[in-house]
Amino acid sequence: MKRRLAREIAVQSLYQMEMNEVSAEEAVDMLMNEVKEENEIEADVSDVSRIDEHVRDLVNGVSGSKAAIDDMLQHYLTGWQVDRLSRVDRQVLRLACFEMIFRDDVPPKAAINEAIELAKHFGTEESGKFVNGVLGRLLQALDELKPNQLKGKPNESLIENEVQEK
């Protein structure tokens, strides 16, 4: 539950960053305060305090690797451009891609399942299927993509070479 809540807040923070052109810090602060004060999702406030660092790690990680993530996603989007996706689907895909490629603490299939649920929750009726399709294609190439990281940071030239080869 705590990781799901962290992902929900992370997706909302990423969305805020894009919509309002605010920093990762500002977006997370705003969402964390909103969850603590308004608590519309009826979360345990102690859970919210405990996940703060995890949310910040996710948002900062996605934000810091956004160009590499978008390059990877572009390769696995069939007939779509990253910048033409709905803002919600784009943030969900970015978060899942980040967890799959740049994190070792989340099994890739768990990241996909969570992304599908987030897409269904925040997106349209078709968002879950769309996200599943894109991430399923990414999963097939995960063994080729994952070694192309260096200490949790993308190796830009290796990622670019991988994308160009396909």
CATH number at residue 114: 1.10.940.10
Identify whether residues 60 and 78 lie together within a single domain: no
Identify whether residues 152 and 97 lie together within a single domain: yes
pLDDT beyond 70 at 145: yes
Identify whether residues 78 and 97 lie together within a single domain: yes
In angstroms, the CA 85 to CA 74 distance is 11
- Residue 139 · residue 166 · CB < 8 Å: no
Identify whether residues 59 and 72 lie together within a single domain: no
State whether residue 119 is helix, strand or coil: helix
pTM of this prediction?
0.83
Structural domain boundaries, residue 146 = 66-165
At residue 44, the pLDDT reads 62
Give the side-chain half-sphere CA count within 13 A for 154.
25
Last residue of a domain, one of 13, 42, 64: 64
Domain count, the chain: 2
Identify whether residues 110 and 152 lie together within a single domain: yes
Identify whether residues 35 and 45 lie together within a single domain: yes
- Residue 69 · residue 97 · CB < 8 Å: yes
How far from chain centre, in Å, is Cα 132? 13
pLDDT band for position 45 (cuts 50, 70, 90): low
pLDDT beyond 80 at 166: no
Angle, helices 108-122/87-102, rounded to nearest 10 degrees:
170
DSSP for residue 106: S
> What are 49-107's pLDDT values in tens digits?
778 899 999 999 999 999 999 999 999 998 889 989 999 999 999 999 999 999 989 99
Helices (H), strands (E): how many in the chain?
9, 2
Could you tell me if residue 80 is left (phi over 0), alpha (psi between -120 and 50 degrees) or otherwise beta? beta
